[in-house]
Amino acid sequence: MKWESLSAFISMGGYGLYVWGSYGVALLCVVGEIFLVKKRFRTLHKELGLNEKSSI
C-alpha cells in the first residue's frame, strides 16, 4: 500500500485542500451534468407520454 494511513491519504502531503478541492468540484460537475441531462430526458419522456422502455 502506498499510503501509510487514511489520514496520510487525506492530507495528501499537506496539499489535501488543493487536491480534494479539485477532485471534489470535478465530481460535483460530473454528477450535476448527469443529473441535468437525465432530468431533461425524463421530463421529455413524461411530457410526450412515451411508453418506450427507457435505458436511462
Q: In degrees rounded to 5, what are phi and psi of residue 13?
A: 60, 35
- Name the CA radius of gyration of the chain, rounded: 19
Residue from 5, 7, 38, 46 in contact with another protein (CB under 8 A) = 38
Is 4 one of the binding residues for another protein (CB under 8 A)? no
| Residues whose CB falls within 8 Å of the CB of residue 41, separated by 6 or more in sequence, listed in order | 54, 56
Which residue carries 410526450 as its cell?
48
Q: Which is nearer to another protein, 3 or 7 (CB)?
A: 3
Q: Give the residues lining the site for another protein (CB under 8 A).
A: 1-3, 9, 12-15, 18-19, 21-23, 25-26, 29-30, 33-34, 37-38, 40-41, 44-45, 48-53, 55-56
